[in-house]
């Protein structure tokens, strides 16, 4: 697939996808979401890649779904076309970690996309919000469900009902983002985190992502049971023996992703 709306690069074992529709502040139209899904799934299947990053520009990660593209939709266009789920949720099929590196606006679908990533590193100029109410519509890609889980019902209601934007520091205090870094260090810090993850044992990385995600889908007893099964499964890997042996022999581990 030839990409028109994203830039795809690899940096060692990290796949970096940059959303690139600068004139529309990276508004997420169908073409962009098709390309993003294609690139993510290609990295997921690439044995050389251990972690992915999605980022945007300094001004906007993404200012939301493309309002110009959907302004004339009627109910049937939206319902029969399965808007927006049809090409937005490829990211949920990705088994390797995906980090959102967010500068500038992450609004509406842009904020929802960050929440579909595994964690968010924000530049100090980042602004998050679900301002769909100003368009007389509502978040359409999980915002009303993932935001309360991330930042509490009260804050999610506040953002979704008033359309106010939350800055990076508030987002970190609220638990939406894992860390805030200076804008000029955003890619350096995110790449360092992604490179660290990519240096670990890939099957175990995938088990940990799976286990943490399970905490959102299950009760505590079932989630802990699921974690235990994966913990036991890690003892079936070559890398677990290597990791523990390397620790005891006081040397770096040499993981082989098996």
Binding site for ligand CAA (CB under 6 A): 24-25, 27, 63-68, 84, 105, 107-109, 112, 131-132, 135, 139-141, 143
3-state SS record for the chain: CCCCCEEEEEECCEEEEEECCHHHCCCECHHHHHHHHHHHHHHHHCCCCCEEEEECCCCEEECCECHHHHCCCCHHHHHHCCCCHHHHHHHHHCCCCEEEEECCEEECHHHHHHHHCCEEEEECCCEEECHHHHHCCCCCCCHHHHHHHHHCHHHHHHHHHHCCCEEHHHHHHHCCCCEEECHHHHHHHHHHHHHHHHCCCHHHHHHHHHHHHHHHHCCHHHHHHHHHHHHHHHCCCHHHHHHHHHHHCCCCCCCCCC
Q: Are residues 88 and 109 in contact, defined by beta-carbon separation less than 8 angstroms?
A: yes
Q: What is the nearest approach in angstroms of ligand CAA to the Cβ of residue 129?
A: 8
The answer to whether 123 and 102 are in contact (CB under 8 A) is: yes
Considering the complex, what minimum distance in angstroms separates the CB of residue 102 from ligand CAA? 13
Shortest spacing between CB 214 and ligand CAA, in angstroms: 25
Known catalytic residues?
65, 109, 112, 132
Specify the residue, 32 or 202, whose C-beta has the smaller distance to ligand CAA.
32
Nearer to ligand CAA, 97 or 143 (CB): 143
- Closer residue to ligand CAA, CB minimum distance, 158 or 242: 158
Question: Considering the complex, what minimum distance in angstroms separates the CB of residue 174 from ligand CAA?
Answer: 19
Residue 132 vs 172, nearer CB to ligand CAA: 132
Task: Check: CB of residue 120 under 8 Å from CB of residue 70.
Answer: no
Q: CA–CA separation, 155 vs 249, rounded Å?
A: 49
Task: Give min distance, CB of 186 to ligand CAA, in A.
Answer: 18
- Which residue, 8 or 106, is less far from ligand CAA as judged by CB? 106
């Amino acid at each position: 697939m030839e990409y028109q709306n994203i830039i795809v690069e690899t940096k060692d074992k990290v796949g970096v996808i940059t959303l690139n529709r600068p004139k529309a502040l990276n508004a997420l139209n169908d073409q962009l979401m098709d390309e993003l899904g294609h690139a993510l799934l290609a990295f997921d299947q690439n044995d050389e890649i251990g972690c992915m990053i999605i980022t945007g520009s300094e001004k906007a990660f993404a200012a939301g779904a493309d309002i110009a593209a959907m302004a004339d939709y009627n109910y049937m266009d939206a319902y029969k076309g399965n808007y927006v789920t049809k090409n937005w949720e490829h990211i949920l099929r990705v088994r390797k970690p995906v980090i959102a590196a967010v500068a500038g606006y992450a609004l509406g679908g842009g904020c929802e996309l960050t929440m579909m990533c595994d964690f968010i590193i924000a530049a100090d100029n980042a602004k998050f919000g679900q301002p769909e109410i100003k368009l007389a519509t509502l978040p359409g890609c999980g915002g009303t469900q993932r935001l309360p889980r991330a930042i509490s019902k009260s804050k999610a209601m506040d953002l979704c009902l008033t359309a106010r934007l939350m800055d990076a520091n508030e987002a970190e205090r609220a638990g939406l983002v894992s860390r805030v870094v200076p804008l000029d260090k955003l890619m350096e810090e995110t790449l360092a985190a992604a490179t660290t993850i990519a240096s670990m044992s890939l099957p175990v990385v995938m088990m940990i992502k799976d286990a943490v995600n399970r905490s959102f889908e299950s009760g505590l007893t079932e989630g802990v049971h699921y974690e235990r099964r994966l913990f036991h499964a890690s003892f079936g890997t070559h890398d677990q023996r290597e990791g523990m042996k390397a620790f005891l022999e006081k040397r770096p581990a040499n993981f082989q992703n098996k």
